[in-house]
Structure 1
Amino acid sequence: MAYDFKSESEVKEFLQNLGIEYRFGCYSEKKPEVCHLLGDYLEAVKKDYEKARKLYKSNCDDYKFGKSCLKYGTYALLGKAGVKEDYKTAYQYFKKGCEQNIMDSCFNEGLLSITSSEKCGIKPDMTKVS
């Protein structure tokens, strides 16, 4: 079906159908990429940050999907969506994302290891940073 994106009702219908497709792909087909997209949908369209945060965390932990690790680490670092600011958790999730070759996650892991090692509960390892 072709949508007329100048029509508010058709945009709403498109977004509703998109949410349905993402839920099906995530919960029924168990596709990590689609679970991440559902998290992005919940965050950007529905503004339901708490559900998005929980989805990113489970997608990282259950499916080892690096982009979700990065997003959850960011939530933990900023203290967003019902969690307190937690540098240690943020560092751990950035590290998980880096292990999945997500370069932004590697950057954040390295940055925290240099600037906030005490808050992260780690000793700075300059050999990893270089």
Structure 2
Amino acid sequence: MKKYLLVFVIAFANSLYQNLFAQERFATIKKNVNFRASGLYHDLNKSKDTLLLKSDKKINHIYSINKHNKREINNFVNSNSYKLSLKNLSKGKHVFVVSQSPTLIVFVVHILKDLHPITTIDSEDVALLKN
């Protein structure tokens, strides 16, 4: 009986540990709760690294302004749904503006980690660096 109890406790502790430390949050979203924005579904996926947009109306344009007042995203969409990867955004606060003629819907996404892709160097670049 003690063996079964020990196995159960170890299995429970392992699953609890995996749930707590398996994946840290990458981003958070502060949704627009205005009734005029209710036609636009805006949320993050389960891994919190992609912004999901869906609407009955056509989404014309999406852009984001970072904490330095610069646009990091400026995409013309012209579709009813859109997925936007957040991996290339800088760490910090980003104000997103989604244009649905004539409405502008504003919401905020906070990027908690910096995940800029690692650049690779191939053999030609190494040869150029040596010369």
User: What's the TM-score, normalizing by structure 1?
Assistant: 0.21
Higher relative contact order (CA 8 A, sep 6+): 2
Higher strand share: 2
Which structure has the larger Rg?
2
Higher helix share: 1
